[in-house]
Structure 1
Amino acid sequence: MAARASDRTRFVDRFGDVTVRDLAWLLFAPDLLREGDAALARPFATSAKRDATLAWLASLDAAPQALHDHARNPRFTRLGIYAESLLRYFLAHGPAACLVAANVPLRRHRRTIGECDFLLEAANGARLHWELAVKFYLHIGNLDAPRAARLSDYVGPNLQDRFDLKHARLLTHQLALTSRAEFAVLGFEGPWQAQLFIKGRLFYHGLNGDGVAPAPEIDENHLRGWWLTAFEWREARAGAANEGRAWVVQPRMAWLASRRLDTTAAESLVAESEAIRARLEATVVPTMVAAYARDAAGGWIEESRGFIVPDDWPEQARAFAAAPL
C-alpha cells in the first residue's frame, strides 16, 4: 500500500512517544531505493492493514512501556540493532504480519556465512524473507563540475561505507541467503520471497541541496538532508534566518524519526545556541545536527537535519567515492 511522502510524515507526527515515533518512521518513511533489481518490502498489503497498524501504534503510544522494555536495551549501542528490535516488535505483536523467525544464522563447516534478518508470513499466506538496512549517506559528487549522481557518490559520514558497495552486498549476498543450500537444511518450509526493507536519509551539499537529482536507483521521494563544511557553517550561521532557532546535536540513536522539543528544552537550547554553534564550527568529525523552530501553536518542531563536516572532509570523501574498493 503506497502513500505519498507528506502522508507518511503525517503518520509519524501523530505519535508523541519517541520510541513509537521511531517505529512508525520505520514503517512509513519512504524507501531509499526504487523497486528494481530487488523487490521492496511492503509492511501493509492493504489499506485495512495500514489502518489497523495505525490504531495499534496509537494504543502503543498511550502505553509504550512494553515497547520500551523491548527496544531500549542498554546493549543496543548500534543504530541498526535498535532498528531491528523495533521491526521485530512490530512483526511479533502488530496486526499486519506474523513473525516466523529473526536473525537466523547460516553456517558452513561451523562458520557463520550469513544471517537472515526476518522470516515472516504475510496476511495472504506468502512467506517472506526481509533484509533490513537503515542507511545515512552524504552525496559528494563533483562540486566543481556537477554531473549525474551515481550510487558511489553517496558515502558514509565517517568514510567507512559507500552506497554502491552496500547495494551490491544486499543484492548478491543478503537477499540470496534463503536460496542457499545452507538455509534449506534448517527446515523452514518455503518457498521464501526475498525483499529489501531499506530506509534512511541522504544528505546533499548546501542548505538548498534539494535541487540535486538523485542516482537512478534511488527513489525520488527519499528523505533528504543537507551538509556544510565548518567554514560554510560559519558563513551561514551569521544569517538572520538562524534567529529564533534551536540547534541540537543528534546522537546516533536519535537519527530515525524527527523529534519535538518542549518549551523548556527549546528555550534552554536557544539560550545556549552560541556555544553550540561554536562547538560545531570547530568540529573534527562529521556531526549530525537538527534545527528546531516554533510552530503556529507555540510548540517546537524539527525543521531540518544536516551534517557539519570538517573543512578537509570533502576532499577525502571524493577520494573515497572514486576508490576501486
Structure 2
Amino acid sequence: MDTPGAAALPAAVPTAHWDALREPAVRDLAWLLFSADLLRAQPPVGMLASAFETADEVAATLEWLHALDADPGALHSDLAAARVTRLGRYAECLLGWFLQHGPTARLVAANVPLRRAGLTLGECDFLVQTQAGRRLHWELAVKCYLHAGDGRAQLADYVGPNLQDRFDLKLTHVLDHQLPLSAREEFASLGHVGPWEPQMFIKGWLFYPHGETTSDPIELDPAHARGWWATRTDWPAFAADHAQAWRVLPRLEWLAPRRHEPGTAEAAGIAFVEASALSERVAHQNGPTMVAAFHLDDAGRWVERSRGFIVPDDWPQKARAFARQ
C-alpha cells in the first residue's frame, strides 16, 4: 500500500521472522497479516489493504506476535467463545483480534449491515482507523481455488473445490458490490463518519495441476501461495516421490503452513499416515480433499512440505465445464 508520508515498507517480511511462532492460531494470524495477497491492486476501486503503514509498525507487530505466542490464552478464549466452524469466520476473528489488541490500525466497527427500507443491501467487514488517521473500509476474504483451465491464463479458470465458487465472479462481487457499500448514501446515516477508503484484504492459496505449467492471469500477485492438485488415480505415483508422511487438513487448518511441535498436546493428537493409507481414506469422499505432506526436521518437529487437493477422477472435466459457464 502506498501511504503518503509513510516510511517505505520492506518488499516482504522474511518468513523466518514469523515462522518461529509455535501456537497454531498465532501462526495463522501472522500468515493472515504477512502472506502475499492473492491479487494485485485493481484500481480504481480494488486497492489492497495492509495492516501496516510503516516499517516501524511491521517491527512492532512482529514483537507483539511473539509476545502473544508466549501467552495466547486470551486469543484462545475468544476463539472458543466464537464457536468458529467456517474458515472465513475464523479469519475474521483473527483479524478482528489484531485490530482490537495489536499495535497498529484500530477497529472502528465490524460486520456493519447496510439496510434500506428494511432490506439488507450488504455488510461491511471492517471499518479501520490507522495511526496516521486514515479511515479504511476493509473487505476480507480467504479463498482456495483450483486451476482447471488447461494452461489458460484467465481468472475464470480458478474454481472452488466444490464447484460453487469462481475467482472471477468473486472479484466482480467484491469490486462492484462490497467495496462500494461504504460510499453509499445509506451508509452515512449509520454514524460512522467518513469518507472511507475501500480496500480488499484477499488471502488464500491457489492450486495447480501437478506436472503442468500454467501462466498466471494478470490480476494475480505472482507471489501468491501455491499448492497442487491431483486426481485419485494419479495421486499415488505423485505421492510416492513427494513425501512419506501425510495427513488430511481440516478446513480450519487451511491458512498458515502447519508445523507441529514435539511434546505438545496438539502434536499428540495428530495422526500421520503413509500415502497408501491416505488413498484409502479419501477413496469414498464425494469431493476434493485437502492434504499436506510433512517431513521431520532436526528439532523433531513435523513441518509441512507442501499441500494440495486429491480430487475425484471426474472432477477435472466438471471443473472445466464450470469454468466456462
Residue identity (%): 54
| Contact 1:121/1:128, CA 8 A, preserved across alignment | yes
Change (3 A) 1:240 1:197: closer
SS of aligned partner of 2:15: helix
2:307 is matched with 305
1:70-107 CA-partner distances (Å, limit 9, x unpaired):
12346321111110011011111111011111111100
1:152 is matched with 156
- Total equivalences in the alignment: 313
2:255 is matched with 256
1:231-271 CA-partner distances (Å, limit 9, x unpaired):
1113323x3543xx210100001100111124575998456
Q: Cα offset for 1:302? A: 0.4
TM-score by length of 1: 0.91
Q: Cα offset for 1:313? A: 0.2
2:184 is matched with 180
CA distance in 2, matches of 1:29, 1:268: 25
Q: Cα offset for 1:292? A: 0.3
| Contact 2:111/2:125, CA 8 A, preserved across alignment | yes
2:5 is matched with none
CA distance in 2, matches of 1:74, 1:124: 31
2:39 is matched with 33
1:99 is matched with 107
TM-score by length of 2: 0.91
CA distance in 1, matches of 2:107, 2:238: 48
1:290-323 CA-partner distances (Å, limit 9, x unpaired):
0001224443210000000000000100010000
1:119 is matched with 127
2:140 maps to 1:138: no
Unpaired runs of 5+ residues, structure 1, are none
Change (3 A) 1:228 1:273: closer
Change (3 A) 1:62 1:251: same
CA distance in 1, matches of 2:70, 2:270: 28
Alignment of 1:272-311 (within 5 A): 274-311=276-313
Q: Cα offset for 1:226? A: 0.2
Alignment of 1:64-103 (within 5 A): 64-73=72-81, 75-103=83-111
1:217 is matched with 219
CA distance in 1, matches of 2:155, 2:123: 25
2:62 is matched with 54
Unpaired runs of 5+ residues, structure 2, are 1-7
SS of aligned partner of 2:278: helix
Which one of the candidate residues 15, 38, 63 is aligned to 2:21?
A: 15
Amino acid at match of 1:253: L
CA distance in 2, matches of 1:267, 1:120: 38
Amino acid at match of 2:58: R
